[in-house]
Structure 1
Amino acid sequence: MRMEKGLRAQQILEAKRIKKEEAAKAKLLEAEKRKQEKERSKQEKRDEKRLKKELKLEQRRLELEIAKELKKPNEDMCLADQKPLPELPRIPGLVLSGSTFSNCLIVVQFLRVFGKALGFNGNTDVPDLSILQEGLLNLGDSMAEVQDLLVRLLSAAVCDPGLITGYKAETALGEHLLNVGMNRDNVSEILQIFMEARCGQTELTESLRTKAFQAHTPAQKASALAFLISELACSRRVVSEIDKNTDYMSNLRRDKWMVEGKLSKLRIIYAKKAGKRDTSGGIDLGEEQHASATPTAGYKRRRKGGDSDADVSQSISVGGNPVKSKFPDTSQGPALYAGLSNRAVRPAMSALFYPCSSSKNQEN
C-alpha cells in the first residue's frame, strides 16, 4: 500500500511538473509571439512613415519642377492666346532711318539718366529728339547744339575712360589731347584720334581725316555719338552712379522686407486678439442679456422703517465691471413691481445702460 501511495504521489508530482513546464513553454511562446507581433507592428509603422516621407519628397520635387517650368519664359509662338500685333503708326516728322533713330534714342536716354553724373543739366544741355534730328540733318541752329553736345561728350570721354595706355594721342601740331582746348573747330580731329585709339582704323576714322564732323551723313554722325555714349558707360562716374543706385535699391528692398515682416507679425497678433475678442465678446453679451433679464447676484434686502418700497442692493455685471444698483426683487412677484416708484426704477436702468455715469454719481 505504501508503495502504491508513493507511486501515486510521484505520478501526481510528475504530472504537476509536466503541467508547469507546459504552462511555462506556453507563456514563453505567447511572449515570443507578442514580441514578434510588436516588432512587426513597429516595422510596419517605420515602413509607413518612410513611404509617407518619400511621397512628400516626391510631391515637393514635383511642385518645384512645376514652379521651375512655370518660371521659364515661353516663346511667343508657343503661347496659347495668340494675339495680332498692333499696327504702330510712324512717328510724325521722322525722316531718319531706323538704325540712326535708335542711336539717337540711345544718346537721349543715356543723357537723361546719367547726364547729372557727367555734369549735364537735364533741362538745357540735353536736346530732345526733334532738335537732335535737325542737328544731324544740318538744319538751322540745331547743328550748333549737336556740335556743342559732341564737344562735351568727347571732353568727358577723353578724361574718363581716356585713351589706351601707350598710345601717342597727339594732334597734327604735336599737342597731347589732354592739353588741347576742345571747341567746334578742332573737335573733328580730336574725335578721329580718340576713335582710332579706342577701336582702330574704321571707315569713319578715315573719313574724319579729310572731312569735318558736320560734313558726314546723319547715320555716321549718330553712330559717332552712340560710340561716345558706349565709352562713357564704362567711366568711373557712371559706374559709381550705377553702384550708388544699386545700393539704394537694395536698401529699399531690405527696408521693405523688414516692414513687411513687422506687418505680418502685427497682422498675426491682431488676428489672435480679434479672435479672442470675438469669443469673449459673445460671452459678455450673453451675460449682459442674462443680467438685464434676471438679476444674477444674491439679494440683501433692507427695509426702511415705514416704507413699503423694497430697496434691493444687487451686484450687476455690466461690460465686465461690477455695478451697485437698486433693482426690484423678482422673487416677491408682480406686486412688488407695482409698488415701486420711479425713484427706484430709474437708478437701476441708468446703471444698466450708463455704468460710467452711475459710478460717478455714487462716488459723489
Structure 2
Amino acid sequence: PAAEEFFFRGRLVPFLLHRLGRGSAWSLSTLAFAAAHGDPNQALVALPLGMLLGWLRLSGSGVGVCILVHQAHNILFLAGGPTLIGEPWAGLILAIAGVLCIALAWRWPGRAVGSFELAATSCLAALALISATYPTYQRVQERLWITAMHRAVAYGLLPDHIVLERIDKLCTRGMLDSRRRSALAQALGARPCRSFNRQVWVVGRIAPDRMSAGDEEDAYQRLHTLGCCPVTHVASHGDAARTLGLAHPLAFAQVAKWAPPEVLRWWMPLPEGSAQVLAQIEASSGMARTMLLESLELSYPARVADVLMQLPIDRITATDRAHLRAHCPDLDERLDELALSDPLRAQVFRQPDTAGER
C-alpha cells in the first residue's frame, strides 16, 4: 500500500491536478490505480477504493492517511472477504465501519496533513498485532473459508459443472488440501446440498472414502449419479465409485451393466487398476459377479481373462470358469502355459462345474 500511495496519491494526483484540474485528477488517477491491478476482478475492487483515496487526497488529507486507509481496506478485505459469503450479516458491519471511516476523514481533512509518522506508527502497531494474533486469525480464517465454501457449494446458484471445475482447480493447486476437504465434507454431511446430484458429485470428489449408502437401493442411486456426472469429471469419481462398489457389489454391477463402457474404464482402469478390479470381482458373487464380468468384457474385450487368472485359488468360482470358457478362445493353451508355473491354479480353472456351484 505504501508504494502505491506514494505514486498514485503522492505524485500522480498533484501532477494531474496542476495540469488538468480537480475532476480529471480524481477520475484519471482512479482509473490508473484500478488498471494497475491487472486482473479485471481486482480492478473492480480497486476502483471504488481508488475513488475514496483520490477524494481524501484532493480534500486535503496527506499521503500518510491514504496509506492507513489503504492498509485498513486490505486487512478488512482479507479478513472479511470469506465472512461476507459465510456470514452475510457481516456485510452490514463492514458497511457501517466504512461509513464511519469516511465520516472521520470528512470531519478532519486538514488535520491529516503531514501525519505520515502517525500512519507509519499505526501500520507498525497493526503489523505487530497481526503477528501476535496470527495463529488465532488463521484458525478463524480457516473456519470462515470452510463456511464460505460450504455455502457456495450447497446453496450457490452456479451450474454444477462450474462448481466441479472450480473444485478440481482448487484441488490441483493445493488450495483444497486433505484437511480442508475433510472439513468441507463434514460440513456437507451436516448440511447437505439442495441438489442430491451435486451432493454426491462434490463429496465423491473431495472425500471418496466418506461415500456410503444405507442399502443397495441407496448405493445404486449414488453410483448412478456418479456415472451421470458431466463427462469431464467422471474419472475423478473413480475412488468414490470403488468405495461404494466394495460395500455394495450388486448395485455396482447393476450400474456397470447399463453405463457406457467408458464409465467402467474410468472407474476401473486396466492394467494399472488390476488390483481394484480384482478386489471388486472378489467382493461380488452370484448374479452380481456375472453382470460385473460381462460389463468388464464389454469395456475391455479379451483382457478380463488376464485379471481372472490372478485370482487367489480359493476365490475362483464356477462363474469365473464359465466366463473364461465363453470369452477366451485360447483358454486351453493359456492353461497349459499356466500349468508349468502354477499347476494347482491351472487345475482349479480346469475343474468341471458342479450343479448349483455358482
Q: Which of the five TM-score ranges fits, normalised by the shorter chain?
A: under 0.3
Relative to its length, the structure with more helix (as a share) is 2
Q: Please say which structure displays the higher CA radius of gyration.
A: 1
